[in-house]
Amino acid sequence: MLIVQKFGGSSVANVERVMNVANRIVDTYKAGNSVVVVLSAQGDTTDELIEKAKELNKNPSRREMDMLLATGEQQSVALMAMAIHSLGYPAVSLNANQVGVLTSSNHQNARIKRINTERINSELDKNNIVIIAGFQGYNRYNDLTTLGRGGSDTTAVALAASLNADLCEIYTDVDGVYTADPRVVKGAVKLEEISYDEMLELASLGAKVLHNRSVELAKKYNVKLVVRSSMTKEEGTLVKEETKMEKMFVSGLAVDDNVARISLIGIEDSPGKAFKIFSLLAKNDIMVDIILQSLAKNNTIDISFTVTKDEAQETVKILNENKERINFNSISYDDDIAKLSIVGAGMATNPGVASVMFEALYDVGVNIHLISTSEIKITVLIDKDDANKAANSVHDKFFSQFLLSK
C-alpha cells in the first residue's frame, strides 16, 4: 500500500514527540508500505515567526512572510529525516520546490494547481520514506507561497490524490472528529465516520480538526481520509462520501470566535448595491460569510456581513476608500462575537431542527444577532461571551439521546 501520513505541529513539538512520530512512521514502513509523510512546523514555530516579523514591521509584505513562514516546515522535515536515520531506516526530506508543488500566486493563501510526482516516485522506488514540507508551494515566478493556516492538511490530501494513495492519515492531538470541541463541550463524543459534506461544513465553520480545502480535495478525488491521534493507537474517524449515521439529524457542532461583523448603514436602496459591495471585496480576496440585508428608513437599507478578524481592518479600509461609490452613511465594526453552527445531512429531511436549536439558546438566555442556513447547516451569530454556554446547551439538546445509546 501507498500511505500518506500528515503530522501536525503539536505532534512534532519537541524531541520526544519527534521520536514518537518517527517510530510510528517506521512501523508503517516495516509493515511493507510505501510511505509519504507531510509535516507542519514544530509547536508554536509559525506563531513565533509571525511575532518576530511584526517586531520589525507591523504590516510586513505577504511575499516576505511566505519566505519566512516556509522555514518552519523545512526545519521539521529535516529533523524528522535525521530521527528516522537514527532508527536505521532510509528517509529523504524535500521542500515544495523539490517536490514540484505549483500554486497560484496569492501569497499566504495560495491554492495548489498541480504536483509533479516524478521526484517522489523516484525516491519511493529507492525504498526511501519521503518526508515533505507541508503548507508551502511555489508559483510560476518560482517564489515561495503558503497555503494558509492548516494548509499542511491540504498538502497531504493533494499528494494522496496525485499519487493515487491507498490511504491518507491525518494525525493530530485529538483522536478523531468529535460531535463538538471536547475542550469546550462536556460530553462530546468521537464519531466513527462523517461524510465529506458534513466535514467540509464543520471545517469551514471553525472546527479546527481539518483544513477546509483538504476536505474539498478529498471529496473531489475520493481520497480515503482518516483523522487519528499521534499519541495513541486508537482508531480514528473515517471521512467518506456516505455514512451509516442516518438516525442523527445533526452530526457536529462548531464554534468560531475568529469572526467580525461589519455593518454598512444607510445605503441607497437601488439595484446593484450589493453587487458593488461584494464584488469589490471579492477582487481584494476578502472572504465573506453570513450576509443580512434589512430595510431601514428614508429609502435606504443596511447590510451586515461577517469576515475573519484577520481581514476585518482591511475590509473596513477598502469600504471607506469606496464610500462615495457605494454611497453609505456610516460603517460599524464588532469583533466581540462568535459563530455557532450545527451541521448534519439529516437536517435536509427533518423539519424542526432550527426550532430545537433556537430553544436551546433561549434556555440559557443567549441572544441571536444573525442567522444563516443551508440544507445541512444552521449558523447563528452570538456574543463571544455566550459562546461556551450556548455550545453546551445546543449540544445537550441534540446529542443527549445519541449519547445515551452509545
Q: Any alpha helices (H) in 255-386, and if so which ranges?
A: 273-283, 309-321, 323-326, 353-363
Instruction: Assess contact for 230 and 24: CB atoms under 8 A.
Output: yes
State the CB neighbour count (10 A cutoff) for residue 391. Answer: 26
Q: Is the dihedral of CA 198, 203, 207, 208 positive or negative?
A: positive
Give the residue numbers spanning the domain of 312. Answer: 260-334
Residue 15 and residue 159 in one domain = yes
Domain boundary among 334, 363, 385: 334
The H or E element containing residue 205 is none
- Long-range contacts from 68-71, C-beta under 8 angstroms, 24+ separation: 69/41, 69/135, 69/136, 69/146, 70/95, 70/96, 70/133, 70/135, 70/136, 70/144, 70/146
In a domain, 402, yes or no: no
Instruction: Flag whether 156 is in a domain.
Output: yes
The predicted-structure confidence for 252-270, as pLDDT tens digits, reads as follows 999 999 999 999 999 988 8
Q: Residue 113 CB: number of other CB atoms within 10 A? A: 13
Q: Are residues 153 and 285 in the same domain?
A: no
Asked whether residue 289 falls in the same domain as residue 166, the answer is no
Regions in the chain scoring below 70 on pLDDT: 243-248, 296, 348, 401-406
Residues 202 and 343 sit within 8 Å (Cβ to Cβ): yes
* CATH code for the domain of 148: 3.40.1160.10
Residue 56 makes CB contacts below 8 A (sequence gap 6+) with none
CA distance 104 to 174: 31
| Per-residue confidence (pLDDT) for residue 225, from 0 to 100 | 95
* Structural domain includes residue 230: no
Cell of 344: 448534519
Domain shared by 168 and 295, yes or no? no
**Separation CA 261–CA 273 (nearest Å):** 19
| pLDDT, position 204 | 79
Q: How many CA atoms lie within 13 A of 315 on its CB side?
A: 29
Contact 248, 346 (CB under 8 A): yes
Task: Please check whether residue 213 lies inside any domain of the structure.
Answer: no
Domain boundary among 281, 299, 334: 334
386 within some domain: no
The number of domains in the chain is 2
Q: In what order do the strands lie in the sheet with 300-307?
A: 291-295, 300-307, 260-268, 330-334
Cβ within 8 Å of residue 83, ≥6 positions away: 18, 19, 21, 22
Cα distances (angstroms) measured from residue 284 to each of 53, 159, 287, 317: 23, 29, 9, 11
With respect to residue 313, please indicate whether it lies within any of the assigned structural domains: yes
Task: Please enumerate in sequence order all residues whose Cβ is within 8 A of that of 55, keeping only pairs 6 or more positions apart, or say none.
Answer: none
Neighbour tally for 301: CB within 10 Å = 19
The reply to whether 161 and 274 lie within a common domain is no
- Spell out a b/e string for 119-143, using b for 16 or more CB atoms within 10 Å of the CB, else e: ebeebbeeebbbbbbbbbbbbeeeb
DSSP letter at 135 equals S
Q: Residue 284 is part of a domain; what is its CATH number?
A: 3.30.70.260
Distance between CA atoms of residues 23 and 170, nearest Å: 16
Whether residue 64 lies inside any domain: the answer is yes
| 151 shares a domain with 10 | yes
Length of the chain counted residue by residue: 406
Q: Based on the domain organization, do 159 and 266 belong to the same domain?
A: no
Per the CB < 8 A criterion, the answer to whether 65 and 136 are in contact is no
Please tell me whether residue 155 adopts helix, strand or coil conformation.
helix
According to DSSP, the residues that pair with 253 across neighbouring strands are: 342
Under 8 Å between Cβ of 76 and 41: yes
Shared-domain flag, residues 273 and 145: no
Domain check: are 57 and 153 in the same one? yes
Q: Which residues pair with 333 in a beta bridge?
A: 262
| C-alpha to C-alpha distance for 384 and 381, rounded to whole angstroms | 9
Distance of CA 246 to the CA centre of its chain: 25
Q: Is residue 311 part of a domain?
A: yes
State the Cα angle at 203 between 388 and 275, rounded to 5°: 100
pLDDT of residue 402: 47
160 and 268 co-located in one domain: no
* Same domain for 290 and 162: no
DSSP assignment of 210-251, as one string?
A: S-HHHHHHHHHHT--EEEEESS-----EEEES--S-TT-S--
Last residue of a domain, one of 138, 173, 208: 173
Per-residue pLDDT reduced to its tens digit, 172-230:
878 899 899 888 888 888 899 999 998 988 887 777 788 888 999 999 999 999 999 98
What grid cell was written down for 95? 521542500
